Amino acid sequence: MIEILQWSTLTVCGLAAITRVPSALRGKNRTVFYIFALMTLATLLSIRAPYFAIDQALGGVNVANLLLRFVIFAAIFFVGIRVTRGFGADSAYRLLTGRIGMAILGLISLAVLVLFLMMDTAGSSAGLVAMSDRSDRNGLLVEYYGAAGRAYPAYVSLVLLPAMVRACRSNLPALIRVAALLLVLGSVAIGVSLLFPVFPPALGSVEFVINYTAVLCFVIGLALIWVAKLRSGLNAPGKKTSTGK
Amino acid sequence: MPIPAKAFQRWLHGIAPNTSTSDICRVSGIKRTTLAQQLVRGKVAETTVVSISRAYNVNPVSALAAFDAYSQLTDTRPPTRPELVSQISTTDLLRAVLARSVADPGGEPAVAAPAGSSALEPAPHATSVKNWVEAIDDGELRHRVSAATGIAPQNYSAQLTANRLAPELAVATSLAAGVGPASGLVATGLVTEAEAGWPPEARQAALDSLSDGQLTTLAGDRLQTLGRALRRQEHDHEKTEKIWENLG
């Protein structure tokens, strides 16, 4: 079940990235392509088999997991910038790129890095599951490391949330409002992921569902905005001929 | 509420006996699948009754009045002056303002404005539903309609803004305002002025009876509302463009 979710998320992200290649080559909003590409990479690194293969190539000390964290940070950072710019949420944009946003990104990145270095990380293990069983100290470090990794995406989601809710309730075209709703769902899912430490272990599969739901909501939401633009582009010439003078 | 299929079939038998459904559809220009669907669901749309009535030279308002839900339509009260004026398009109002100022360069009271020199556009116009409700609203009308029909006030407002109003709500609004019950159907475009029994030239006469001050104020109000709506549209359009510029 979870495998299906993982691979279908990967497929969706990959397709979105591939379809953005032509416009990226033309230099049109390359960031959107980067977001899709980074999300594809992140999804790939979160699946057991590709994670194992990539981590083995990187030395088998779970550097791939560290890479995954920073790929996620980069993807969510770009999402934050583009979305706040696009939806005209200037204060949210400043919260991400201003001194506060940069300080939060720097501190969390540092925390992730230090916690990773303090851990005993020998032996590839997706999600560092094997690490936490190694000793109590390691288990605690893995827990903190995971929390730090979720903190930055949660910060960005929280910053995005008000603007997205406003967009949902606005008079913008229907597709854009649906896209905003998906971004709201994705943001809420990421926000909920902060609570993972207090989830009972029995809900482990729910955590997976929430994580991939967030990725899917973001990717599909962004893709929908693009679709809305393409559709309006198709409609516009027809409109022009009917009202043209 | 739409018309029950049973009552509809009884009515149909009355005006077109021994006629097949496909003939009725052909004559009245209704898609056969549409009518079939409405009959299967047991609810026939008011527009269906109107189209068929027109095809068989029956007055659509009296046809609707034959159904229980629309029995009030037998009351054929003439429209009030505010109602008539509300069904004149903003363009026509502005044209009238210009025509009067041209016909009256000296500032003397315009008595013989060239009435009927340019015919008014037939109702309904782009904001005719909202203008009609505003013309008959005493300030409490919306509350009374929502109390009588159970529609939520915000849903009612949304319909007015979209220049729509379900036929049963249009009739309920007329009743709540104490005006002729068919006026709302004119404003929503379900029936024509003539079908609702409005005298020909009634709107033109109502327009001519407005004083220069009344006409100018009214046209100004309409223009202001139009300007606000256009500005809102442009604002939304700019926002959309910005989204596409950054994420498209």
Residue pLDDT, tens place only, B201-212: 899 999 999 999
- Kindly state whether residue B231 falls inside one of the protein's structural domains: no
Mean pLDDT across A7-20: 93
Q: What is the mean pLDDT of chain B?
A: 89
HSE-CB of A100 using CA atoms within 13 angstroms: 9
In B, which residues are within 8 Å of A226 by CB distance?
247-248
B189: closest CA among B116, B96, B127?
B127
Domain end point (choices B18, B51, B71): B71
Q: Give the separation between CA A45 and CA A179, rounded to whole angstroms.
A: 26
Residue pLDDT, tens place only, A19-72: 999 988 998 889 999 999 999 999 999 998 999 999 999 888 889 999 999 999
Same domain, B40 and B18: yes
pLDDT at A238: 44
Q: What angle do CA B50, B53, B59 make, to 5 degrees?
A: 90
CB contact under 8 A, B247 and A172: no
CATH number of the structural domain spanning residue B40? 1.10.260
Q: Could you tell me the pLDDT band of residue A243, with boundaries at 50, 70 and 90?
A: very low
Residues of A in CB contact (< 8 Å) with B are: 28-29, 32, 82-83, 85-88, 170-173, 176, 222, 225-226, 228-230, 232
Residue pLDDT, tens place only, B101-120: 876 555 554 444 454 455 88
Same domain, B91 and B173: yes
In A, which residues are within 8 Å of B240 by CB distance?
172-173, 176, 232
- Kindly state whether residue B97 falls inside one of the protein's structural domains: yes
CA distance A13 to chain B (A): 16
Q: What is the ipTM of this complex?
A: 0.78
pLDDT at A245: 35
pLDDT at B20: 86
Same domain, B86 and B66: no
- Kindly state whether residue B230 falls inside one of the protein's structural domains: no
Same domain, B132 and B35: no
Same domain, B207 and B96: yes
Residue pLDDT, tens place only, A112-121: 999 999 988 8
In B, which residues are within 8 Å of A230 by CB distance?
248
Instruction: Answer yes or no: is pLDDT of A191 > 70.
Output: yes
Q: Could you tell me the pLDDT band of residue A240, with boundaries at 50, 70 and 90?
A: very low
**CATH numeric code, A2-238:** 1.20.1070
pLDDT at A32: 92
Share of chain A above pLDDT 90, in %: 60
Same domain, B56 and B109: no
pLDDT at A99: 93
Chain B residue with the nearest C-alpha to that of A225:
B248
Same domain, B169 and B101: yes
- Kindly state whether residue B247 falls inside one of the protein's structural domains: no
A221: closest CA among A175, A190, A153, A171?
A175
In B, which residues are within 8 Å of A174 by CB distance?
none
Question: In which domain, by residue range, is B41 found?
Answer: 3-71
- Kindly state whether residue B244 falls inside one of the protein's structural domains: no
Same domain, B67 and B105: no
Same domain, B118 and B48: no
CB contact under 8 A, B232 and A232: no
Mean pLDDT across B160-170: 93
Nearest-CB residue to B247 (from A172, A225, A232):
A225
Which residues does residue B3 pair with via DSSP β-bridges, in sequence order? B44
- Kindly state whether residue B236 falls inside one of the protein's structural domains: no
Q: What angle do CA A195, A168, A220 make, to 5 degrees?
A: 65
Mean pLDDT across A157-174: 91
Rg (CA), chain A: 19
Same domain, B160 and B65: no
Which residues does residue B44 pair with via DSSP β-bridges, in sequence order? B3
Same domain, B20 and B56: yes
Chain B residue with the nearest C-alpha to that of A81:
B246
Same domain, B120 and B205: yes
- Kindly state whether residue B226 falls inside one of the protein's structural domains: no
- Choice between A199 and A159, residue whose per-residue pLDDT is larger: A159
A-B contacts at Cβ under 8 angstroms: 47
How many distinct structural domains can be found in chain B? 2
Nearest-CB residue to B246 (from A85, A170, A171):
A85
Residue pLDDT, tens place only, B5-26: 999 999 999 888 888 888 889 9
CB contact under 8 A, B240 and A172: yes
Residue pLDDT, tens place only, A92-131: 999 999 999 999 999 999 999 999 999 888 888 887 877 7
CA distance B121 to chain A (A): 20
